[in-house]
Amino acid sequence: MRHKWPIATLSSLIAVAAIYGALVLLARPAPDHPYFAAEKPRTQVIAHRGGAHARPENTLAAFAHAVEAGADILEMDAQPTADGAIVLMHDATVDRTTDGTGRVESLSASQLRNLDAGYRWTPDGGQTFPFRGQGIRAPELGEVFARFPATRMIVEMKHGGPALAQPLCMLIRRHAMVQKTLVASMNEEAVIAFRRACPEVATSMTGSEARTFYFLHLFHLEAAYSPPAPALLIPDRIGGDRIPTRRLIEAAQRRNLTVHVWTIRDDARMRQLIEIEVGGIITDRPNRLLELLRHPASSR
């Protein structure tokens, strides 16, 4: 019996290699999508919530400031109101960012328009509040589409779940933003529902899809993977481990995946990610990232 083990082991290895080879032959890279067609040949600057370091987050003031600075993409958080509008706000409640209280899903669009979305923004730890009383409101997504029709956007389905998919799809189509919008969510069911409703709009990979690709790349097996979406949005760290590495970026590029990393605030990490040619950096400080891209040597 002792001499049969090597033969059995060899047979198993051959079978595994044959299966892997077949998977590689069947696998396809992510298809090209118009969303990425006009990208500049460098790391893309993605303004997180419009650039929350400089302006109240998820507001027209923040988005306008980021676009004027030269940001490539605006990132924002969408959720439904009580009367079915799609408004931009990160939290489930209005408490942290406005002068009001209550859950977004329990308020109407008109009630939200009466809240001051610049009320709690402070650049100095609460000493001053320069945007209070300046007429800054939490906008509806349609307002942002109408204001910045030439700008690419990442819309995260923050709350609302799969039920948000169809109305979001209809809004994107109505504003002719099909080629300018990438939809993401931590809610896997919401992403899957959106893909069914709006197959022509780009989405990010879900959490389970991203984990599958990540573990395959660790063992250099990514050639057997067919990405179901063209974008991989990942955190910079999980626990103490850095997730985006040069090896990961190269593996993603071979599968035609664009990697966006969130949320980066310090100069040193921005430089490192630029150096490994990450597709995009999601940051609260788009102005600073733009400076580093324009003048990498003099910005140290």
Going from N- to C-terminal start, the domains of the chain cover: 4-92+144-294
Reported pTM: 0.92
Tokens for 133, please give them: 């009383």
Write down the architecture of domain 4-92+144-294 according to CATH.
Alpha-Beta Barrel (3.20)
**Given this model, what pLDDT does residue 1 score?**
45
Interstrand relation of 241-242 and 237-238 (parallel, antiparallel or unpaired): antiparallel
94 and 115 in contact (C-beta within 8 Å)? yes
Helix (H, G, I), strand (E, B) or coil at 85: coil
- At residue 242's C-alpha, the angle toward residues 234 and 223, to 5°, is 60
Q: What is the pLDDT of residue 147?
A: 99
The answer to whether the Cα torsion of 206, 209, 212, 216 is positive or negative is negative
Q: Token match 């700008």: residue?
A: 151
pLDDT at 42: 94
> Distance between alpha carbon 135 and the CA centroid of its chain, in Å?
28
Q: Are 176 and 148 in contact (CB under 8 A)?
A: no
Give pLDDT, residue 26.
Answer: 64
pLDDT tens digit at each of 300 positions of the chain = 455 557 666 555 565 555 556 555 567 889 999 999 988 899 999 999 999 999 999 999 999 999 999 999 999 999 999 999 999 999 999 999 999 999 999 999 999 999 999 999 999 999 999 999 999 999 999 999 999 999 999 999 999 999 999 999 999 999 999 999 999 999 999 999 999 999 999 999 999 999 999 999 999 999 999 999 999 999 999 888 899 999 999 999 999 999 999 999 999 999 999 999 999 999 999 999 999 999 876 555
Helix 165-174 crosses helix 188-197 at what angle (to 10 degrees)?
A: 50
